[in-house]
Structure 1
Amino acid sequence: MTTSDWGDWLPREIADADPDGVDAWYLGCNGFVLKASDGTTVLVDPYVGTGSPPRTIRMIPVPFDPDDVERADAVFATHEHTDHVDEESQAPILEATGADYYAPDDSLDVVAEEDWQVDYDIGDDQLVEASEGDTFDVGSFTVHVVETADADATHPVGYVFEHDAGTFFHAGDSKPSDSFSDVGERFDIDAAALAFGTVGNVPDKETGVPARTRWYNDENQIIECASDLRVDRLVPTHYDMWKGLTADPTVLHHHAKSFAYPRDLEIVEIGDRITL
C-alpha cells in the first residue's frame, strides 16, 4: 500500500473540523471529502494510488493513508476506472468505518472481480448499487444520482449532494452531457467539481506506444458543462494528476468571463478546504 507523503495531518484536520454548514476538502485527482455541521462525512472518488508508471504517473503527493480515516458515513464512486474505484484506497475505509459504498453496477463489478471482501471485512449490505434517478439520505445529505457523459467509462454517474447549507455536484470525469441542462434546472448548484486537463500523449496500455489521449474536459468543454449546470462556483479537478495531461486552471477565467455561469472560478490545490 502507498504511504502518505503528508502523514496524518489531513485526516486529523477533517476529523477535528466543525463546519457551520458544509466544508469540502480536495484530495487531488478527483477526490473530495464533504463534512456537514452534524458530523456527517462522505468521500467521493478518494484515490491514493500512484497510477501504473510509465503509462500513468502521479504528479502530486499522496495526501493521506486510508487507515487514518476515522469517520466515513459513505464512500461514493462515479465510475469504474482505477483512480475512482481502488481497493487499497477505499476498502480499508469501508472496513474500519462501516461506511456504505455507493457505486454504479460496473464499479461494483470491479469490487467483486478484485475480491475486496476476501481481503477486507466488508459486508454485502455495505455495497449499494447507485443508478440514475436514485435519491437517498446519508446523514444530513440528500443524494441524487444523475446521468453523466464519459465515453471512456462503461457506466459513469454523477452525484448531487443537497444540504441546508448548499448543494455540491460531483460529475466524475464527465464531459458535456445532454442531462446537464436538466440537472441545472432541478438543482441550485453552489459548487461543482468538473474534470479538466490537456490533450496529451500517454503510452498505450497494450503496446506502450504514446497515443494522443483526451480523458478530461478542455477549456471550452468545462465551461459548457458549468454553463449548462448553472453553477455558481466551478471547481476544476484532475488537472493536477497525470504526467502529460496536467493543465493550468487559471486560464479558465478567460473562457468563463462572457458566460452567466459559472459565476465564480474556485481553484483548489490538493489539501485545500472550501465552504459551501
Structure 2
Amino acid sequence: MLKAHPLAATLTERLAEPPGDALSLFWLGQAGFVIDGQKRRVVIDPYLSNSLGEKYQDTRFPHLRMMPIPIAPRDIPHVDIVLATHAHTDHLDPDTLQDLLRANPRAVLVAPKSARDLALTRSQIAQSRLHLIEAHETLNLAGVQITALRAAHEGLELDAEGLHKFLGLAVTIAGRVVFHSGDTIPFDGQSTEVASLHADLGLFPVNGRDAVRKSNGVPGNMTIAEAVTLAQNAHISTVIAHHFGLFAFNSVEREEIEKVATAARDVYLYPAKTGAEYRFLSE
C-alpha cells in the first residue's frame, strides 16, 4: 500500500539528497513527478515556470497559477532521465527543461518521436542527449526501463509520418512499474494495453473535459471516475490522481477526488499533493 509521508523539510532540501534504493515519488504540480529508486532519479512532465501565464495573459484562459512553483528546476539535482509524454508546454516546457538539463549535464531527455524537433528546440540540448520513443517501444537507460503506450488527448492523433503525438510512459524502477498515462481520455483497447504492464502504480490525470474547453482548443482528460475504471480494468491497485489545482479553467476540486476515492472499490486513489513523499509501506 502507498502512503504519503509529510516532508520534514522543504522539497528543495529533500531533493538535494541523492535518490535511494527504495521507490519514492514527489508531485511537482500538474502532471509532473520526480520518481526516485535504485539510486536513480527520473523526472516526468515537469512544468516549473510561468511560461504559459506569460503566453496567455489577457486571453479568455489566462493560465494564472493557482499553486506556487514548488521548486526551481535548477534546484533538482541527481537527475538521470527526464521524460516528456507529449509536446504541450505544460509537459515539454522550455523554461523548465533548459534550467533542469543545464543543472544536470549527464541527464538525458526522452520524448516522443513525433516531437523530436520541438524537444531539441525547447531543451537546447545536444542531439546525443535526446532519446526518442514511440508507442509499444521500450528503452533501457541507466538501468531504468521505459515503455511507451498510446494515449488519446481527446483522440489517438498521428503526425504526418504516422507517429503518435501522445504517449503514456511506464517506468520500471526499484522492482516496481509506475505508469504515467500521459494526458488521455478512455479509448478502445486502452485497458488491455495498460494491463499488459502489470503496473504497481498509476499516475492518472483527472481534470476531465467538456465542450467549452474543447471548442476553445483545450483538450481534455479522464474524469476521476474514468481513472478509477481504468485502474480496475487494468488491475492497478493504486493511483495518484493529478493534473488539477494549477489552472482554474482546467481543473477539478480536490474534494471531488476525495469523494470518489472514498467510494472506489479495489483501487486506492490518492489526490496528489505537494509537500509529501509517496512510498510503499513495504519500503
Give the TM-score, by structure 2 length: 0.79
Aligned 1:33-182 pairs, distance under 5 A: 33-36=34-37, 38-50=38-50, 51=52, 52-54=56-58, 55=61, 56-97=63-104, 98-112=106-120, 114=121, 116-117=123-124, 122-151=125-154, 155-182=165-192
Q: Say if 2:206 and 2:222, in contact at 8 Å, map to a contact too.
A: yes
Q: Say if 1:236 and 1:249, in contact at 8 Å, map to a contact too.
A: no
Report how far residue 94 of structure 1 moved. 1.9
| Cα displacement string for residues 117-138 of structure 1 (whole angstroms, at most 9, x for unaligned residues) | 3xxxx22111111111221223
Report how far residue 53 of structure 1 moved. 2.9
Q: Say if 1:250 and 1:267, in contact at 8 Å, map to a contact too.
A: no
Q: Are the structure 2 counterparts of residues 232 and 104 from structure 1 closer, same or farther at C-alpha, using a change threshold of 3 Å?
A: same
Q: Say if 2:44 and 2:83, in contact at 8 Å, map to a contact too.
A: yes
User: Could you say what secondary structure the match of 1:62 adopts?
Assistant: coil
Q: CA RMSD in A?
A: 2.8
Give the TM-score, by structure 1 length: 0.81
Q: Of the candidates 232, 246, 250, which is equivalent to residue 245 of structure 1? A: 250
Number of residue pairs the alignment of both structures matches? 257
User: Could you say what secondary structure the match of 1:177 adopts?
Assistant: coil
Deviates more, 1:153-162 or 1:193-202: 193-202
Unaligned runs of 5+ in 2: 1-8, 159-164
User: Could you say what secondary structure the match of 2:12 adopts?
Assistant: helix
Alpha-carbon distance in 2 for matches of 1:234, 1:133? 22
Q: Are the structure 2 counterparts of residues 254 and 109 from structure 1 closer, same or farther at C-alpha, using a change threshold of 3 Å?
A: same
Give the corresponding residue for 1:5: none
* Letter paired with 1:167: V
Alpha-carbon distance in 2 for matches of 1:124, 1:184? 30
* Letter paired with 1:150: H
Alpha-carbon distance in 2 for matches of 1:268, 1:249? 9
Report how far residue 201 of structure 1 moved. 8.8
Give the corresponding residue for 1:268: 272
Give me the identity figure in percent.
21
Unaligned runs of 5+ in 1: 1-7, 205-209
Report how far residue 236 of structure 1 moved. 0.7
Alpha-carbon distance in 2 for matches of 1:108, 1:178? 27
Report how far residue 192 of structure 1 moved. 0.7
Alpha-carbon distance in 1 for matches of 2:154, 2:191? 19
Report how far residue 13 of structure 1 moved. 0.5
